[in-house]
Structure 1
Amino acid sequence: MPLRGSSHSHMSISGEDILIYDGSQIDEETHEEIVKFCDKCIMTQFPLLDEDTELHNIVKEAQSHYRNHSKSCLKYHETLDRFEFPRSVARRTFICEPIEVDNDNDKQYTKKVNEIFTEMNATMNALEKEKMLSWSDFDTLPTKYNWNYEDYECVLRVVHTRTVIIHKREPNGRWVNQYNEEMLRVWKANMDIQFVLDTYASEKYLMSYTTKPEREKSLLFEGIHKEYREGNMSVREEMKKLTDTFFNHRQVSVQEAIYSMTKMSPTYSS
């Protein structure tokens, strides 16, 4: 996985006759076409070393999420990974539309299901420390709670509170980020490729990324204001210094600093 500040790209890709998800009211044909498109273009497999050595090594090094969650992973919750790893195991790709919770009974059921799902994940986490997970390892878990596979897919609709695509994923691929095989073989670096279900959310994410706040600059402003409060400068001097700081200081990563110092171009276009 890339280190924070590493050079990377965010982009939305479209094309002619592109499939559009328009909520749960889409017809069955469009639903199936979206699933076919995802199965064709998006992979989640962790190939065995003796099956495809090159792809195995790339997926292992570039596409596998850290099992010991980093501080960034747990940014919003002490135990829940904000990137939603490990990902759900599934025998097929499908659009997972959440079930609405309307009453107290539904809320109690949702709470119980979430507890069981968390327990299932914990069991698989413990098992994969000893061996590579297989379908037989996974199949024993739903039956423990008197679920069949169809029940398990319904549980996913309870666990996920927003519409997501559950990709066909084997038990040993729970920590693998989605990728396109042809692109990954050439790119040889991390990618997270997704079919856009919510155009607004996608564009909002891109905008929030490009306008990410710079905390270090705020600390500089705070230092200047502290000097003013202590009587070391006038209001006019403070405003002048704040303006100068705003236009001439910017928080950069180590990687970007190296780009600047070595006169390397940080952007390219064709």
Structure 2
Amino acid sequence: DAPPVYDGTNEAEIVRYIDTYITCSATAVEAELVKLQTHDHRATCFKYDPHDCRFEFPRAPMDVTRILHPYTDEEKAADGFQVMADRWAKIKQLLADIDAEKVPPPATVEQLLALAGLSLEEYIAAVRVPLKRMTAFLRRTPMEMRINPYNPVLLRIWRANMDMQFCLDPYGAAMYIVSYMLKANRGLSRAMERAADQARHDDDNLKSRIRKVGNAFVNTQEMSAQEAVYLALGLPLRSASRQSVFVPSTRPEDRTQLLRPPKDLQVLAEADPESDDIFVPGLVHAYQRRLPSLEQVCIADFATCYSKASGTRAGTGD
């Protein structure tokens, strides 16, 4: 049941998979769940452009799910490209007017096309104008322009907003994850700076100052109700079906080793002042001391199939 990988020739298969698991329908789930998926504009939506939502809402309706490609530089230089760009500007304004209820919302894509005075081919050609990467456009009516893509089964279980998309470019997904991990929270940084500056000038004791800085962090950091509950209960925020094990493969003299805790070093010094067993035993150490019955097991299999028994400390048992 793994999703197909886009290879440039299997768009029909990709579309079938998307339609099976992802939708932005306003009727596939209960109305209260659809409300969770409906985008509401906030100040952050217009952080880069005062007129365009950076999350691209309202999104262009489609009669069926389609994978659209951006225009090449040669196509953009062609004479007819400006005509398509003007059509896109017209469509974009029409969608904004429908979204703002300045124009009665059409019920179908066909009615939207009639309102715009365009054929389906002209409409699709215009929608491709702003694209910078290959994009999947889900089947959606003009009434569903603000609904985030979701999976009905998962939405009923999760009961919170989700944005489910099919990954057409794994490198783009990797870049998004890395950028998200490394991005700075400027609002939080400014709040912490103000709190720290205020604490420096307060006459309160150190404990009170630290409490104020901590309160500034807690009150500024935004998180969902689900995340807050998970943190309060000590539940893991993420999990994976695979684990990774690091196997040191460099020469022994080039390996990084951890010193034993000071308490253990003190006990070791009292027992044997000449002992050089000052490092925490690692994977290689455990492999060297494996049981005779595991003599034929290679270090890769040993690392992935065997682990230290719970309740034992490193170096005290295997």
Asked if Structure 1 and Structure 2 have the same fold, meaning a TM-score greater than 0.5 normalized by the shorter chain, the answer is: yes
Greater Rg by CA: 2
Q: Which residue of 2 aligns with 1:73?
A: 45
Q: Which residue of 2 aligns with 1:189?
A: 160
Contact map agreement 2:85 2:126 (CA 8 A) in 1: no
1:36 aligns with 2:16: yes
Matches of 1:117 and 1:194 in 2, distance apart? 24
1:45 aligns with 2:19: no
Matches of 2:16 and 2:4 in 1, distance apart? 11
2:128 alignment partner, SS class: helix
Matches of 1:158 and 1:254 in 2, distance apart? 35
What amino acid is aligned across from residue 236 of structure 2 in structure 1?
T
Q: Which residue of 2 aligns with 1:178?
A: 149
Aligned length: 219
Matches of 1:213 and 1:107 in 2, distance apart? 38
What amino acid is aligned across from residue 70 of structure 1 in structure 2?
R
Contact map agreement 2:22 2:164 (CA 8 A) in 1: yes
Cα distance per residue 1:14-42 (max 9 Å; x no partner):
x64x31224xxx12xx1100000001110
What amino acid is aligned across from residue 265 of structure 1 in structure 2?
G
What amino acid is aligned across from residue 13 of structure 2 in structure 1?
E
What amino acid is aligned across from residue 109 of structure 1 in structure 2?
V
Give the TM-score of the pair, scaled to structure 2: 0.58
1:91 is matched with which residue: 58, 63, 66?
A: 63
Q: Which residue of 2 aligns with 1:105?
A: 79
What amino acid is aligned across from residue 114 of structure 1 in structure 2?
W
Contact map agreement 2:91 2:116 (CA 8 A) in 1: no
Distance 1:153 1:95, change over 3 A: same
Q: Which residue of 1 aligns with 2:107?
A: 134
| Structure with more contact order per residue of length (Cα contacts < 8 Å, sep ≥ 6) | 1
Matches of 1:223 and 1:255 in 2, distance apart? 20
Contact map agreement 2:69 2:133 (CA 8 A) in 1: yes
2:116 alignment partner, SS class: helix
2:5 alignment partner, SS class: coil
Matches of 1:130 and 1:108 in 2, distance apart? 26
Matches of 2:89 and 2:56 in 1, distance apart? 16
Any gaps of 5 or more consecutive residues in structure 1? 1-14, 226-247
Cα distance per residue 1:104-162 (max 9 Å; x no partner):
73553354233222222134224x4676540164132232xxx2112211211223232
Any gaps of 5 or more consecutive residues in structure 2? 198-213, 240-318
Q: Which residue of 2 aligns with 1:151?
A: 122
1:82 alignment partner, SS class: coil
Distance 1:183 1:223, change over 3 A: closer
1:210 is matched with which residue: 169, 178, 181?
A: 181
Q: Which residue of 2 aligns with 1:5?
A: none
1:73 alignment partner, SS class: helix
Distance 1:56 1:221, change over 3 A: closer
2:67 alignment partner, SS class: strand
